């Protein structure tokens, strides 16, 4: 039996992650390995040429080992889905696109999805199930929590702490902090599309504008 990887989610996030996750899995596990879509709402047998199944069928499919990459952009939904997978004995899979640039001394947690043209600079600590979408970056000396999402083009400059479940919208920019005094994006904060964040953000805040202001 060959290993089996599921890409959980057939929305835009999943269809964007599938091509590079599929390539990375086959390079790592061999040409006989299999990659499928997994979704709670299966409406067709295939999605973009890949078999699509619900979690029950995924668990029933014979495999040497089962892995999952959760392709859901919303951080808390991603966390809930992972709890279901982990409780079923599924292992996390980290998918990194070949065009992504990873520099020195990076600790990357399990289950990450690092899209094409992403840059992770040096001396970075990143938690579990991080999503970095197209052209986003994390600069030096940053700490990123669990289940954090960077939408396309999100920019996180050096000496920033992004806590668990935070979401940075497309084109959002976090200014650089300093050693011992990082800019902190609090747990569950949402940074809106194109927002420019100049100061630390309280947990649960929704920020928008340039400069960014709390709107909720």
DSSP result, 143-165: EE-TT-EE-TT-EE-SSEEE-TT
- Asked if residues 99 and 29 have their Cβ atoms less than 8 Å apart, the reply is no
Q: How high is the mean pLDDT of the chain?
A: 97
| Distance (Å, whole) CA 90 – CA 67 | 5
* C-alpha count within 13 angstroms, C-beta hemisphere, residue 198: 5
Q: pLDDT tens for residues 6-31?
A: 999 999 999 999 999 999 999 999 99
Catalytic residue among 22, 50, 129, 140: 140
Question: What are the chain's domains?
Answer: 4-93 (3.40.50.20), 96-209 (2.160.10.10)
Q: pLDDT tens for residues 151-181?
A: 999 999 999 999 999 999 999 999 999 999 9
H/E element holding 25? helix 12-29
| Distance (Å, whole) CA 154 – CA 65 | 34
| Distance (Å, whole) CA 208 – CA 123 | 29
Q: pLDDT tens for residues 78-109?
A: 999 999 999 999 999 999 999 999 999 999 99
Respond yes or no: is residue 50 known to be catalytic: no
Residue 80 pLDDT:
98
| Distance (Å, whole) CA 207 – CA 215 | 6
Q: What's this model's pTM, rounded to 2 decimal places?
A: 0.96
Residue 35 pLDDT:
98
Which residue do the tokens 């970075």 mark? 124
| Distance (Å, whole) CA 40 – CA 14 | 13
């Amino acid at each position: 039996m060959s290993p089996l990887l599921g890409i959980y989610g057939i929305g835009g996030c999943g269809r964007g992650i599938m091509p590079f996750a599929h390539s990375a899995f086959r390079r790592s596990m061999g040409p006989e390995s299999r990659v499928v879509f997994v979704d709670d709402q299966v409406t067709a047998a295939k999605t973009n040429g890949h078999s699509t199944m619900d979690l029950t069928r995924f668990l029933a499919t014979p495999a040497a080992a089962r892995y999952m990459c959760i392709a859901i952009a919303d951080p808390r939904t991603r966390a809930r889905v992972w709890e279901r997978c982990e409780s079923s004995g599924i292992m996390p899979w980290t998918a990194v696109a070949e065009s992504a640039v990873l520099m020195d001394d990076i600790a990357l947690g399990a289950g990450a999805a690092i899209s094409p043209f992403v840059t992770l600079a040096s001396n970075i600590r990143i938690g579990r199930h991080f999503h970095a979408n197209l052209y986003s970056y994390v600069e030096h000396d940053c700490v990123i929590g669990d289940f954090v999402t960077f939408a396309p083009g999100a920019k996180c400059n050096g000496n920033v702490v992004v806590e668990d479940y935070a979401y940075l919208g497309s084109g959002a920019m976090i200014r650089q902090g300093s050693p011992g005094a990082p800019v902190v994006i609090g747990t569950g904060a949402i940074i809106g599309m194109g927002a420019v964040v100049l100061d630390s953000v309280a947990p649960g805040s929704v920020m928008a504008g340039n400069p960014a202001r709390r709107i909720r």
